[in-house]
Amino acid sequence: GAVVSQHPSWVICKSGTSVKIECRSLDFQATTMFWYRQFPKQSLMLMATSNEGSKATYEQGVEKDKFLINHASLTLSTLTVTSAHPEDSSFYICSAEGGEAGRRETQYFGPGTRLLVL
């Protein structure tokens, strides 16, 4: 159990376009989802925390107008990178908090989305 999917797994786009990444919890309800970014050889960096039905909470230094997060349901959160630029190229990973009772603080990660902006 506790499977999280992400789509797409790879994106290559031109500078200036917007890219939407979906994160789904497949077999459990996740009231909280997290979006991370990881640059090569660096640690995961939390971008924002997404709670179903409310506005996302962004970490310091993350532009909320550039990285739009929508947590539309208990199983789906989306991250839209608006007007992407080459410096946005990164590995984006979502995670969902939840699962069976007693493990609700555990985060289950999606497989990640590699974004390359040309």
Partner 1 sequence: RKEVEQDPGPFNVPEGATVAFNCTYSNSASQSFFWYRQDCRKEPKLLMSVYSSGNEDGRFTAQLNRASQYISLLIRDSKLSDSATYLCVLNTGGFKTIFGAGTRLFVKA
Enumerate binding residues for partner 1 (CB under 8 A).
32, 34, 42-44, 46, 49, 57, 91, 93, 97, 103, 105-112
Q: 3-class SS at 85?
A: coil
Pick the closer one to partner 1 by CB: 82 or 109.
109
CB of 18 to partner 1, least distance (A): 23
Cα 52 to Cα 17: distance, rounded to the nearest angstrom? 27
Nearer to partner 1 (CB atom), residue 16 or residue 111: 111
Q: Which residues contact 60 (CB under 8 A, 6 or more apart)?
A: none
Least Å distance between CB 16 and partner 1?
27
- Tokens for 18? 């917007």
d(CA 86, CA 72): 28
Nearer to partner 1, 42 or 73 (CB): 42
